[in-house]
Amino acid sequence: MAFYDGLFKSLGLSEWCGESTGGNLSMADLLAKTSGEGQKGPFFPFPSLDNLNESCDAIARTRDVTKGIENGFLAAKPALKTVLDPITQPLSWLLDGALWLFEVTPWFIMVPLLIALTWWASRSRPVTIFVAIAILLLAFVDHYDVAMQTLSIIFVCTGISVLLGVPIGIAMSKSDRLQRSVVPILDLLQTLPTFVYLIPLIFLFSVTESKLYGIAIILYAIVPVIRLTDLGIRLVDQDVVEAANAFGMTSRQKLLGVELPLALPNIMAGVNQTIMMSLAMVVIASLVSAPGLGVNVLRGIRNLELGVGIVAGIGIVLLAVILDRTSKAALNRVDKAQKHS
């Protein structure tokens, strides 16, 4: 770039830059240079790393930056695996155990159990009947086994997300400093594309390990329950909190007896969103050996098997509606209990 050649010379940086050789050119660069395409473009090109490198070898190119990030990650991989492997191994055991349990339990035991669980959570006859019909419909089209695999993964990952997310949300609600520190991390997790979650995990863990997709699902799905727990506790009426203080309640008594019960509708809304996001990520996680309906969707895409993909997609929709209706019915039940109390 003639413009930047003169700029570096005028700034007295010629010796620092060294003799510009253009570095190791890629095949595309060589072809462009040979064909004369390198001479085209605006007189004052944007000072990107690649453009500056053409005039100054001391400036790294974009591919050098990406290669440096990759090399840094690979250098840290042994230490990360040493720390993370024992911490995350129980997640593999839980996922594998849940898959085994859902697969070996006969349908005539599992289906009544799921229907009973739905009734216990929702106390809604229409929702319970819908869940029964949806599960039987999945069984009629021979998708019962893969649906149970998906359901087992959602149960485990949602349960862990709630167990981790609610305490984090409570801690955030009690500390403005902690909230300011955690919110940027939550923003990153919530806006990061789903496929990007898998990239560092593939480097760290074997594709055959269940914790690979388990960690991805939990990181993706945990954000709503953290945010809504924090919001729910912060929205508790301060007059009620002051009344609890007047009665001499300790912080723990206020949390368990006043704040959490009043924040429960918001927390349940967060659990609902966590369930939905877990289900969405399970489909993406089929790319890294997550079993279930997502495998059939992926098969339909890869092999252009339209029917297989559509039936599996309908199965995912049915599971989503089952989980959504059940959790919303449970939320409505909590709201009614709060109003009557």
| 28-32, 149-153, 207-211, 324-328: the lowest-pLDDT one | 28-32
End-to-end CA distance of the chain: 75
Tokens at residue 222, please? 């945990």
Integer Cα distance of 108 and 311 in angstroms? 23
pLDDT band for 58, please (50, 70, 90 cuts): confident
Virtual torsion, Cα 112, 116, 122, 128, nearest 10 deg: 30
Per-residue pLDDT tens for 233-268? Answer: 999 888 888 888 888 888 888 888 888 988 988 998
pLDDT band for 156, please (50, 70, 90 cuts): very high
Integer Cα distance of 253 and 232 in angstroms? 17
Overall average pLDDT of the 209-217 stretch? 91
> What pLDDT does 28 receive?
53
Which class does domain 76-340 fall in? mainly alpha
CB-based burial of residue 304 (10 Å sphere; 0-12 exposed, 13-18 middle, 19+ buried)?
A: exposed
pLDDT at 148 over 90: yes
Percent of the chain with pLDDT over 70: 90
Tokens at residue 97, please? 């155990």
Asked whether the beta carbons of 189 and 219 are under 8 A apart, the reply is: yes
| 14-28, 79-93, 183-197, 241-255: the lowest-pLDDT one | 14-28
pLDDT at 23 over 60: no
pLDDT at 200 over 90: no
Residues 288, 275, 156, CA angle at the centre, nearest 5°? 60
Q: Give the global pTM.
A: 0.83
Overall average pLDDT of the 273-287 stretch? 89
Tokens at residue 219, please? 């990181």
Q: What is the domain partition of the chain in residue ranges?
A: 2-60, 76-340
Integer Cα distance of 269 and 228 in angstroms? 7
